[in-house]
Structure 1
Amino acid sequence: MNEPRSQDSQPATRAQSISRWACILVSATAVGIAGITFRVVQLKTNPGPKLIASMQDANGKLAQQISVSDPLPRGEILDRFGRTLALDALGGSLYLDVRDLYRDTQMRNEVVAKRIAAGKAREHDRIILDPISELAAQLGPMLGVPQDEIVHRIVDLDPKVGDHLRVPATLRKLPASGDLQPDQWLELPRYIVVEKALNDEQIRLLRTAKEAGGPTSIVRAAHFEPKQERVRPYGDIAAGIVGKTGIDVVSDIPLVVDVRSLYREAYAYNIEAIQLLSRGENARVIDDPVGELATALSPLIDMPANAIATAILGEVDGQVEARVKAWSLTMQMGAGLDGGRNGGLNEGLNEGLNEGLDEDLLDTMATSKLVKAKTTQRDRDQFAAEQKLETAAPALAYAKLLPGTEETVGRSGIERIANKGLSSKPGYTTYFASRLGSVISIPPGGYRAGDAGDSVRLSIDIVIQEMVEARVNEVVDAANASGGRALVINAHTGEILAAYSRIRGNTGRDPITTDFAKGDAALARMRWATDPFEPGSIFKPFVWAWAVDHGFARRDETISLPSGPLTLVDGRAKRTIREAHTSSYGTRTWEQVLVKSVNAGMATIAMRMGSDEMKRCLAAWKFGVGTSVGVENESKGLMPRADEWSSKTRALASVSFGQGIAVTPLQLVRAFSAFCREGDMVPLSLQPFAHDSLTGSMPVLSTNAVRESREVMQKVITEGTGKKLKEILVYPAFGKSGTAQLTKEMGGYFADRYMASFIAGAPFDRPEIIVLVTIEDPDKKAKATGGATGGGALAGPAVGHIINDVLGYMGLPTDGELVYAEKTDEQKKMAAR
């Protein structure tokens, strides 16, 4: 007899059953997850052709991957006190991607509707049927424009008047249920400009709104098209130093091939060719379009044809397999092509024609397949020339050069010199989007912050620069001169406080050089660094001081000179030295030689020195050596050739009074700085001086020679060729004038065209600044200047005014009285008291 089943055994059996089914379910789930994971890994590591085609666009780029660039401003150029000389004004236009706005809104509405239906609605969930008004409400405060005005810019409010640039009024609102119809999508314009010119604040607000709203914000459909404009707040002042920017291609220019179109057209051509063959007519079938293209391209871009074919089609088993990978036209249209060539179509050929073009395979072909990433200028020239020829291979039509990436670069001045530091690196955001363009996610590393350009601070003081330009322009215009140059240097630090060059072409005479700044002042060459000139008499102080310091002459020594021109004799060589004024002839002291600018006196002492000593003199003053201020194409000047030193009557005599040698304004002020210091020359710089840095000065004179030279050059102003400064200076100064014949480009001198120069240091006791002005080719018929051409008459007054302007601006005390003016009897009595 069976024993009755206990009541406790039933729950135990049920529990075991549940446990078994749970294990089976968990195992099945684990297997399913494992299978899915394996499949995901497989698809990621080895996706099939169809998946690749669905993921990529025609050019091979992931269709879902979108990158948006965020341009940043170029660095600012500042003067020594931080005043802005050049900056980027970032402007641009605001445009709306209408279809993107509508798609995003529809998708957002679907998500909200599902949450509402599930009873999980959020606080701010609502269905948006008027996305344009919604967007306008957010853009209005940013742009400072009423919401209705923004709507009017987007929507064609009058349905009777069609406007293809705006949204039809009938499509302003989305349907309450369902999607827009295909024909309605086509009626929507893609892009609409909402604001043509955005200012910095509007750009900032738009960026802030986009960042705050994130990828799903309705503001995402509003896009900023940047336009950076380089602005010089001080206009043309210092424009030649600041320079100019422009757009340049900074990336490589690649050559690509539209493989898809190449094969599509080859197929169409072959159909016609085979039909001709079938009728017994002559025709050529293209069975390897890539091969023909590669053969035509090879000599043009200096690349083997086999390498070109490999770049287009890849490799199969180590060899280019055009006919295999690219569906081989001979196979596509029939294996018995020979029969076609012989006049008849076989069955295989008929079958290929009936099947038509393999669109699936065609879709896998790129429309911009990279062949050569970095083409040379020669490649591009040859390719363009060949494509224009009537005899060019038809396949070349499917190769093209892509434009390189453009970037703002410096064209001239500091913009060019410091371009690397000034240039910015744009940031970017890369995100994955759906086929409709909606943002799905931003991958790790998808955002990279850009780097704005670094600021560059110059030693230039824009206030001093403006003073200098005004004074030089005044003289150049009054003298109807062909040009002018000027420099102002800090005598203690070597900082260039102002530098100016001007060319004037409307003088009625041949221009002295090409004026690149005629159309734009920012294109002016820095001729104060690049163009050497014969200095004339302003060169005399350097030889004069050297002779005193090295015992070749004493300040009070009497130099015997003839009452007329001096004739120098060296063996058979003879040379006659003449003076600019007859009053300069006759015996003089060595001091008077410099004060009255006597050429014969300089040449006489030069003969004592000899050629070797004169060469040592030039080397010590660093003539023939650049200043290394960083200006492109700075000239080292021109020294006499070796053969010119063979006779004392040539280079030795000429150099002593500033002929036969060419120097730059920079070299002159560097050398003159020794007179403003304790006999050491200070290195020049376009960057502000760091007070904790060493200047690395170059000793050249003794302090005694400096003192004597200063005192004598002060007499140049009080008694010599610079007496016009007595009527101007309110600060004591010292300097030297110079008048040199203008040199011709092909050698030699103009008989009646001159260079008028003056160089000075001030104040006398403790010089703060060095000023050099050169007036080039003044007009002897200019009424405003009385036809003056001398350095003391033209450049000297400009130097005097600049000294007053600059030292006054720097705050140096003065009573405002002319320091060198003749005192009246009453003034003398007051001074005696």
Structure 2
Amino acid sequence: MLGRTDSRGRLLFLLLAFGLAAGAIVGRLGWWQIARQPDLAEAAHRQIYLRVEVPAQRGTIYDRSGTIILAETVTRDRLIADTTRLDAADRDALTRILSDVLGLDEAATASVGERLVSGRAYVVVVRDLTPDASDAIRARILEARLPGISFEVESVRAHPQSGGGPKTSLAAHLLGFVNRDGAGQYGIEQFYQEDLAGTPAIVESDRDANGKPVIETQHTVDAGTPGVDLSLTIDAGLQLALEQEVMSAWVADRAKSVSAVVLDPYTGEVLAEATYPSYDANDYAAIASSDPGRFVDPVVSEVYEPGSVFKMLTVIAGLETETVTMSTKIDDVGTLHLDGGRTKIDDADRRAMGVMTFEDAIAFSRNVVAAKVALGLAPSLDAASSVLHEVWLRLGFGSRTGIDVAGEVGGLVHDPAATAWREIDLANGAFGQGVAVTPIQLAVAFSAMVNGGTLVKPHVVRAVDGTPVDFGAGGQVIDPSLSPALTALMHHVVATVPFYRDRTLIPGYYVGGKTGTAQIWDSEIGNWKTGVFNFSFVGYVGRDPGYPDLVIAVRINEGHPDVRRVGQLEMPVMSFELFRRIATDAVSIPGLLPDRPAPIVPIPHPDR
């Protein structure tokens, strides 16, 4: 007979274990249902919920008249293909249709063919289709009974005005472009991105099993704000003429690039600015893949040694320190030995012109005289260096002008307090060597010389949504009493030297300026480039003597001159001749020059 087995303890243990397990399960379920209920509900909602940002309408950019559109947002179509539904014959037919309607070249046609064999259900075949192109393609597709083809609407940035050169849009460097993500790149589009783009609308809805919104459930959470419209200071007519002028000079002079800017010296308004080579902002993607450096605007973003245009800064330093006057006579010896004979500087023609007045020395661009004046600015080399350097800084060199476009650089100006200058450094600086500046800096500095000594803030936006923009008054950087002397000196330059006079003066207008020619350092070979130079001219044009209306800065980058003799370089279009062409274009634009008060003419009384 088997013994009795007592299972009461075992049963109690099992009951306790099951009770604990059930309690844990109930507690866990309770934690999910109560503590995590909001998270679970949110996760479930996300499976059927759709939140979409709808970009705002980007603002339009106009020229100064407010009527000529320079950049606008338009709707275009993109053609979508479900390539899983297309057989070989369908793909060939679609490729032929697109090639015929759009006039695609061999490379573009091949690219379309490659997209159609991807085997994906959603392929963007072509973009930026105009309504006419879409209608023509749609009709051909229906006629061919091609499956899996649809059209989607997208917003794109358009630049409707053609530029002054082939395959360019007007003011491309100044405006920049807008990429596929709606972000402005370069120029005004990047600088004013937030203003132009506005804020997107937020739309929420449920979505169906295919992920598409359920229209009946759509509601707007945030209406967003549209982008603002900008009216620029640019005159479209002058801008086109300027682009044509710089392109012509680029061709004639076989230059790497040619740049120019036209500035109102009293307000800082940029009336036109251009560089060639330029690009078509409507086709920025092609440039991005082949030559992205083309997007950079040399007027504000590229520095260079300006050469003798910088002698005007040396003039200011000399007049302010009263170490020289316009009539001071100085001996031009042709070559000046410095630093105990270890260094030297030469006049461009290596010839001495003898004793001459300071104003004539500037007119004939004598390096030796400019160096002598710089070395005599103060009793010691360090003090003289500080005087000239301070004038540079005061006139804006070494810092950004604050112009309202993206990518401006401040240039390079070495501080003698950080590293003491040798005599050769001060002498070179006196005629624009050893410094690096931008054309916009030169235009602003020369504006201060002729406008009474005010350093204006250059700008390209005139109004936002029709409201004028106030950029504030500039600071006084030169004694107003110096402006007449500086203005007269610049006129003396172009009126005295026959080489300049014959190709710079404009009948009926008052003209002045200063030339600059500089060698170009090649950092790769550690020596000066041969056969190419930077040519500059910064000057003014006015309707009345002593009252400039416009300041124009010109740069011909790596022009290829003929060397007639040492110091005499000749090109088909010299910098001062290009200035004259641009100035003539500017004064010919109706209403461009600022209004001037009419003279008061006394009317005789009939009884007298």
User: What TM-score do the two structures reach when normalised by structure 2?
Assistant: 0.68
* Root-mean-square deviation (Å): 4.1
Q: Which residue of 1 aligns with 2:581?
A: 801
3-state DSSP of counterpart to 2:263: strand
Q: 1:486 aligns with which of 255, 260, 273?
A: 260
Residue type at the aligned position of 1:89: V
Greater RCO structure (CA 8 Å; 6+ sep): 2
Q: Which residue of 2 aligns with 1:276?
A: none
1:497, distance to aligned residue in structure 2 (A): 1.7
Alignment of 1:511-530 (within 5 A): 519=290, 523-530=294-301
3-state DSSP of counterpart to 2:441: helix
Q: 1:653 aligns with which of 419, 422, 427?
A: 427
Whether the 8 Å CA contact 1:729–1:804 is kept in 2: the answer is no
Residue type at the aligned position of 1:531: E
3-state DSSP of counterpart to 2:531: strand
Q: Which residue of 2 aligns with 1:703?
A: 480
Whether the 8 Å CA contact 2:305–2:436 is kept in 1: the answer is yes
Q: Does 1:566 align with 2:331?
A: no
Q: Does 1:228 align with 2:155?
A: yes
Alignment of 1:372-411 (within 5 A): 407-411=181-185
Q: 2:61 aligns with which of 48, 66, 77?
A: 77
3-state DSSP of counterpart to 2:510: coil
Q: Which residue of 1 aligns with 2:356?
A: 588
3-state DSSP of counterpart to 2:586: helix
Distance in 1 separating the partners of 2:349 and 2:448: 30
Alignment of 1:657-672 (within 5 A): 657-672=431-446
Residue type at the aligned position of 2:321: H
Residue type at the aligned position of 1:750: K
Whether the 8 Å CA contact 1:757–1:792 is kept in 2: the answer is no
Residue type at the aligned position of 1:565: T
Whether the 8 Å CA contact 1:675–1:709 is kept in 2: the answer is yes
Whether the 8 Å CA contact 2:561–2:570 is kept in 1: the answer is no
Distance in 2 separating the partners of 1:226 and 1:655: 58
Distance in 2 separating the partners of 1:535 and 1:517: 30
Q: Does 1:739 align with 2:517?
A: yes
Distance in 2 separating the partners of 1:503 and 1:153: 40
Residue type at the aligned position of 2:582: I
Pair 1:706–1:645, CA change in 2 (3 A): farther
Q: Which residue of 2 aligns with 1:475?
A: 249
1:412, distance to aligned residue in structure 2 (A): 2.8
User: For residues 247-303 of structure 1, what are the alpha-carbon distances to aligned partners after superposition, in whole Å with 9 as ceiling and x for unaligned?
Assistant: 3xxxxxxxxxxxxxxxxxxxxxxxxxxxxxxxxxxxxxxxxxxxxxxxxxxxxxxxx
Pair 1:63–1:639, CA change in 2 (3 A): closer
Q: Does 1:621 align with 2:554?
A: no
Distance in 1 separating the partners of 2:53 and 2:409: 42
Q: Which residue of 1 aligns with 2:237?
A: 463
Pair 1:560–1:791, CA change in 2 (3 A): farther
Distance in 2 separating the partners of 1:439 and 1:638: 59
Pair 1:691–1:583, CA change in 2 (3 A): farther
Pair 1:449–1:552, CA change in 2 (3 A): same
Whether the 8 Å CA contact 2:330–2:355 is kept in 1: the answer is yes
Distance in 2 separating the partners of 1:802 and 1:433: 60
Alignment of 1:39-188 (within 5 A): 60-61=44-45, 65=49, 72-82=56-66, 83-92=68-77, 165=147
Distance in 1 separating the partners of 2:188 and 2:201: 25
Whether the 8 Å CA contact 1:756–1:791 is kept in 2: the answer is no
Pair 1:80–1:748, CA change in 2 (3 A): farther
Distance in 2 separating the partners of 1:538 and 1:792: 21
Q: Which residue of 2 aligns with 1:104?
A: none
Whether the 8 Å CA contact 1:241–1:522 is kept in 2: the answer is no
Distance in 1 separating the partners of 2:177 and 2:213: 41
Residue type at the aligned position of 2:60: E
Distance in 2 separating the partners of 1:777 and 1:630: 28
Q: Which residue of 1 aligns with 2:533?
A: 754
Q: Which residue of 2 aligns with 1:240?
A: 173
* Rg larger in structure: 1
User: What TM-score do the two structures reach when normalised by structure 1?
Assistant: 0.51
Gapped runs of 5+ residues in structure 2? 1-31, 81-130, 133-137, 163-168, 279-285, 378-383, 594-608
**% of aligned pairs identical?**
24
Alignment of 1:29-40 (within 5 A): none
1:650, distance to aligned residue in structure 2 (A): 1.9
Whether the 8 Å CA contact 1:72–1:427 is kept in 2: the answer is yes
Distance in 2 separating the partners of 1:698 and 1:482: 36
User: For residues 506-548 of structure 1, what are the alpha-carbon distances to aligned partners after superposition, in whole Å with 9 as ceiling and x for unaligned?
Assistant: xxxxxxxxx9779579952011112111111111112113312
Gapped runs of 5+ residues in structure 1? 1-44, 96-142, 145-149, 166-190, 197-224, 248-406, 505-514, 814-833
Distance in 2 separating the partners of 1:691 and 1:662: 34
Q: Which residue of 2 aligns with 1:535?
A: 306
Q: Which residue of 2 aligns with 1:607?
A: 375
User: For residues 582-614 of structure 1, what are the alpha-carbon distances to aligned partners after superposition, in whole Å with 9 as ceiling and x for unaligned?
Assistant: 566321111111111111111111111122222
Q: Which residue of 2 aligns with 1:451?
A: 225
Pair 1:454–1:586, CA change in 2 (3 A): same
Distance in 1 separating the partners of 2:558 and 2:358: 31
Whether the 8 Å CA contact 1:501–1:525 is kept in 2: the answer is no
Pair 1:70–1:153, CA change in 2 (3 A): farther
Pair 1:523–1:757, CA change in 2 (3 A): closer
Whether the 8 Å CA contact 2:495–2:505 is kept in 1: the answer is no
Distance in 2 separating the partners of 1:446 and 1:701: 57
Pair 1:229–1:612, CA change in 2 (3 A): closer
3-state DSSP of counterpart to 1:757: strand
Q: Which residue of 2 aligns with 1:272?
A: none
Pair 1:522–1:499, CA change in 2 (3 A): farther
Residue type at the aligned position of 2:237: V
Alignment of 1:131-530 (within 5 A): 165=147, 193=150, 196=151, 225-235=152-162, 236-247=169-180, 407-427=181-201, 429-431=203-205, 441-442=216-217, 445-446=219-220, 448-503=222-277, 519=290, 523-530=294-301
Pair 1:550–1:246, CA change in 2 (3 A): same
1:71, distance to aligned residue in structure 2 (A): 5.0
Higher strand share goes to which structure? 2
Residue type at the aligned position of 1:703: P
Distance in 1 separating the partners of 2:146 and 2:33: 46
Pair 1:431–1:668, CA change in 2 (3 A): closer
Whether the 8 Å CA contact 2:252–2:572 is kept in 1: the answer is no
Whether the 8 Å CA contact 1:71–1:226 is kept in 2: the answer is no
Distance in 2 separating the partners of 1:620 and 1:613: 11
Pair 1:788–1:240, CA change in 2 (3 A): farther
1:242, distance to aligned residue in structure 2 (A): 1.3
Whether the 8 Å CA contact 2:262–2:553 is kept in 1: the answer is yes
Q: Which residue of 2 aligns with 1:637?
A: 411
1:727, distance to aligned residue in structure 2 (A): 6.0
3-state DSSP of counterpart to 1:553: coil
User: For residues 335-388 of structure 1, what are the alpha-carbon distances to aligned partners after superposition, in whole Å with 9 as ceiling and x for unaligned?
Assistant: xxxxxxxxxxxxxxxxxxxxxxxxxxxxxxxxxxxxxxxxxxxxxxxxxxxxxx
User: For residues 293-346 of structure 1, what are the alpha-carbon distances to aligned partners after superposition, in whole Å with 9 as ceiling and x for unaligned?
Assistant: xxxxxxxxxxxxxxxxxxxxxxxxxxxxxxxxxxxxxxxxxxxxxxxxxxxxxx
1:560, distance to aligned residue in structure 2 (A): 2.3
1:686, distance to aligned residue in structure 2 (A): 2.5
Distance in 1 separating the partners of 2:372 and 2:449: 23
Residue type at the aligned position of 1:595: A
User: For residues 543-568 of structure 1, what are the alpha-carbon distances to aligned partners after superposition, in whole Å with 9 as ceiling and x for unaligned?
Assistant: 11331232010111111232x42223
1:151, distance to aligned residue in structure 2 (A): 12
